[in-house]
Amino acid sequence: MTLNPASDAFIAALQAQLPEGTVRPADPRFLEEPRGRFFGSPDQHVALPHTTEQVSTIVKACNAARVGIVPFGGGTGLVGGQVMQDGPTPLILSLERMNRILGVYPLENVIEVQAGVILSEVQAASEEVDRLFPLSLASEGSARIGGNLASNAGGVNVLRYGNTRDLCLGIEAVLPTGDILQGMTRLRKDNTGYDLRGLMVGSEGTLGIITGAALKLSPRPSSVGTALMVVENPAAALRLLALARSHVGEAVSAFELLHRQGLEFVAETLPDIRQPFSAPSDWTVLIELGMVARADETLEEIFVHALEEGLVTDGVVAQSAQQRTDFWSLREHIPVANKRIGSVSSHDISLPLETLPDFIARAGQVIASLGDFRINCFGHLGDGNLHYNVFPAQGRDRSEYENMRDQVKFAVHDLVAEYSGSFSAEHGVGRLKTGDLMRYGDPAKVVAMKAIKQALDPLGIMNPGVVLPA
Amino acid sequence: MTLNPASDAFIAALQAQLPEGTVRPADPRFLEEPRGRFFGSPDQHVALPHTTEQVSTIVKACNAARVGIVPFGGGTGLVGGQVMQDGPTPLILSLERMNRILGVYPLENVIEVQAGVILSEVQAASEEVDRLFPLSLASEGSARIGGNLASNAGGVNVLRYGNTRDLCLGIEAVLPTGDILQGMTRLRKDNTGYDLRGLMVGSEGTLGIITGAALKLSPRPSSVGTALMVVENPAAALRLLALARSHVGEAVSAFELLHRQGLEFVAETLPDIRQPFSAPSDWTVLIELGMVARADETLEEIFVHALEEGLVTDGVVAQSAQQRTDFWSLREHIPVANKRIGSVSSHDISLPLETLPDFIARAGQVIASLGDFRINCFGHLGDGNLHYNVFPAQGRDRSEYENMRDQVKFAVHDLVAEYSGSFSAEHGVGRLKTGDLMRYGDPAKVVAMKAIKQALDPLGIMNPGVVLPA
């Protein structure tokens, strides 16, 4: 069952069904992605609907003509889910014009949004009513909530508040038939059939187009404390996490692991970013508490306690909002620095928490056995989610390692599989990791996924080649 | 596509594949359910496997012979999902022998269990390592976790910790083909394909048999405060909830609404249950805080504040563990009292929180217009989940209202639909509410659900007639 290209005749017919300017040649920004691995052919068109009904019209037309649809959110995805470079020319679908906040319900802790709203605008609208929308990630200034939902985005607050799926009460979506799923409910409890919300969230545009969502808000912690603490090794970091939790329960909002390598990359490529320690230690933890009161003092208490137990060797609790911002800026610039250095292979992995120290030790040995590399291992330690990125040795360039990329990747992912971990903790499968899913995925899961895809999208028009091979 | 009955020959052949005693005539306890609405025919057999592989063998045999399977957990479900009374004789499948705790990971806040473990045993095993498994409901002493997962059970702590689906990281399940879905992951983040975990949870045994799960634990709040507070009306209760949250954020663990009618039912049918107020007011709220410290004092502060704002008129904060137990005992005996009184029609509904006061007022008018009834409206107000139960007038019997049951039910559910609520907030659809799903469900959702059911269970052997009509 092959797809047809979006021909001139198809585009013209679709244009005739929609307001002028809705379907037009795609700007270059729709044809590239941040990793630079996938490029869309320049003859593609983009549809920019204003309403859910127009989305339905577009999907129905594609379904009737068997034309592929590539949904495009903010374009920030890291696994190539938003750009199709092979196969019959698809139609790109961007919801950037569907960017309205539909309702805010502070008493209910709910916000209703269209899918094209930028994540930071969802955060801002929530803050306006003294609520927190906890999803927070580096690209929040350009990522659109529809893309966050489609990819079940993670970020720095998962530890406390969960992934995007956990933050979503209901969705409106256009199914591959063009029918509209009217699921934008504000209900906290609704046990009336299969969880299509959860299924659509994280399906990366392969089962339908999410057009709107009702999202959970949380009380805004009135007292926030942030600290950097130096630990001897990842095992000590995990014990620090346990210590912090025994003090404050769920109030630990973020627990990020930084490696010396990352801080050195930042110092080298982004010298303006303030670094609190003159000589970075091997392992540093960024910890944040969000509480009703006394977060700073509590963090000091935890620090003293951890010092006494020998879990930390140094540390600094942010004494001002500026210093807190600095700590986070340091954390958030690590991926920027990584990009400037240029990785051989990057991995977004997760492991059962207890196995993390052992994994990090073994992975280091495995990579060393393959050649001369630098490793920047950092990320959302509290969730067991590491960005385990492998770089050229000092003074060498990534181009020299081109032929080793797959070897490195498989070495890391094989080890992850051995520890019952995941080869994609938060970025998704996209087009980049379909091979990994086939290699590491549970066979019964893959069979069931294919059956579901076939059932909901029998012609395979929705984001062809993403998650499952085309 | 009709199913075949589980014939003597089928049973004999299945017995030959399994250890002796695994398949045997069903005891009466497998043929009834708490509401007394559904009865299984006495010629049914039950399979009691010890292992996931045996479950797989059983499902494969049923699939090959096109015999229906009715999964049976603790038998506590309230919508008839566990008993099939019409159609070709099915095989009952109970996992009560698969009742082991497989692993406890305090550092990770995870517990791994087989599906046949009783809920209270999951709670106890978590408490042993000073952790909380927050799922808590009246039937926790006999409900099995597999059934809780299959029905996405709710209970009194959803407000803070979410439904069963939210508490589940991964599942192992036997699919309708007999293949084993190896999804029992302890990972907090795993974005490698469709959320089959979320799909299976809440599918009420219609897409497969959940055989095990990795469940999230939480820190155990070291300080718990519980109070009963009298409010003028449901609107004041919602304002009290907002006030409490503005004081303590997510620390509000439970927020239950009690109506005078329920307290009177308890006084009438269960005179030994201690009641704190000599003359019950129309509306009382049971509120619980779980904090790191000072929960009682905080609750006192909230109470004083609420008095000053005129939100509450009376109240009592539990001064001892015994008093806390008494408050909860009062709450938990309301359904027992309801059963003794005998309802005309019971409704497990949810509404957008802001609409609740209006809904309660209008529903009261609607019911009054139908005839002479007593209404006991109580439940998990913080989640927008009400148990809206309609009873005979004082001195009359439910049998006199037999012909009005549907009229009452539709009147309530029609009004719920008008307010964009749900006709099943936490009990599920089962066999009791398939008609409601067809009547009130979003048509696109029902079509998609049917497609998924057909894709995963093409012969329709899994719990026939549940959720979707057979």
Using CA atoms, how far residue A185 sits from A182, A189, B306, B318, in Å, is 8, 10, 30, 36
**Both B144 and B209 in a single domain?**
yes
Residue B435 located in a structural domain = no
Which residue, of B49, B77, B96, is where some domain finishes?
Answer: B96
**Both B84 and B18 in a single domain?**
yes
> What is the C-alpha separation between B126 and B110, in angstroms, rounded?
9
Give the number of beta-carbon pairs within 8 Å between A and B.
266
pLDDT at A63: 98
Note down the domain range covering B193: 101-219
Query: Which residue among B166, B191, B449 sits closest to A428, beta carbon to beta carbon?
Result: B191
Residue B458 located in a structural domain = no
**Both B228 and B321 in a single domain?**
yes
pLDDT at B125: 98
**Both A416 and A399 in a single domain?**
yes
pLDDT tens column, B329-354? 999 999 999 999 999 999 999 999 99
**Both B189 and B246 in a single domain?**
no
The alpha-carbon gap from A279 to the nearest alpha carbon of chain B, in Å, equals 31
> What is the C-alpha separation between A238 and A357, in angstroms, rounded?
9
Residue B45 located in a structural domain = yes
The alpha-carbon gap from A123 to the nearest alpha carbon of chain B, in Å, equals 18
**Both A210 and A232 in a single domain?**
no
> What is the C-alpha separation between A239 and A309, in angstroms, rounded?
10
Nearest residue of A to residue B421, measured between CA atoms: A187
A189 with B429: Cβ contact below 8 A: no
**Both A210 and A233 in a single domain?**
no
ipTM: 0.96
**Both A182 and A249 in a single domain?**
no
Residue B214 located in a structural domain = yes
Domains: count for chain A: 3
B195 with A108: Cβ contact below 8 A: no
pLDDT at B470: 82
pLDDT at B278: 87
- Please give the share of chain B, as a percent, with pLDDT higher than 90: 96
Residue B362 located in a structural domain = yes
pLDDT at B292: 83
B219 with A352: Cβ contact below 8 A: no
Nearest residue of A to residue B108, measured between CA atoms: A353
User: Is the confidence at residue B1, as pLDDT, over 70?
Assistant: no
Structure tokens given for A86: 């092979």
Mutate which of B159, B166, B188 to test chain A, going by most A C-beta atoms within 10 A? B188
**Both A354 and A317 in a single domain?**
no
pLDDT at A470: 82
A420 with B194: Cβ contact below 8 A: no
Mean pLDDT by 10 residues, chain A (470 residues): 93 98 97 93 97 98 98 96 95 98 96 98 97 95 98 95 97 98 97 98 98 96 96 97 91 96 97 92 97 92 97 96 96 95 96 97 98 97 97 95 96 98 97 97 98 98 96
DSSP string, A155-218: -TTHHHH--TGGGEEEEEEE-TTS-EEEE----S---SS--HHHHHTTSTTSS-EEEEEEEE-E
A182 with B444: Cβ contact below 8 A: yes
Residue A349 located in a structural domain = yes
A185 with B422: Cβ contact below 8 A: yes
**Both B304 and B366 in a single domain?**
no
pLDDT at B98: 98
Query: Which residue among A191, A193, A291 sits closest to B449, beta carbon to beta carbon?
Result: A193
pLDDT at B104: 98
> What is the C-alpha separation between B335 and B384, in angstroms, rounded?
18
pLDDT tens column, A300-312? 999 999 999 999 9
Burial of A322 (0-12, 13-18, 19+ CB in 10 A): exposed
**Both B235 and B155 in a single domain?**
no
Which residue, of B96, B128, B144, is where some domain finishes?
Answer: B96
Residue A198 located in a structural domain = yes
User: Is the confidence at residue B256, as pLDDT, over 80?
Assistant: yes
Output the domain CATH number for residue B190: 3.30.465.10
Output the domain CATH number for residue B279: 3.30.70.2190
B192 with A424: Cβ contact below 8 A: yes
Nearest residue of B to residue A240, measured between CA atoms: B107
**Both B267 and B360 in a single domain?**
no
Query: Which residue among A151, A247, A350 sits closest to B190, beta carbon to beta carbon?
Result: A350
Nearest to A380 by CA among A358, A359, A355, A351: A351
Residue B272 located in a structural domain = yes
> What is the C-alpha separation between A172 and A155, in angstroms, rounded?
24
Q: Are the beta carbons of A199 and A456 closer than 8 angstroms?
A: no
Residue-level length of chain A:
470
The alpha-carbon gap from A9 to the nearest alpha carbon of chain B, in Å, equals 30
The alpha-carbon gap from B192 to the nearest alpha carbon of chain A, in Å, equals 6
> What is the C-alpha separation between A71 and A111, in angstroms, rounded?
23
Mutate which of A148, A185, A189 to test chain B, going by most B C-beta atoms within 10 A? A189
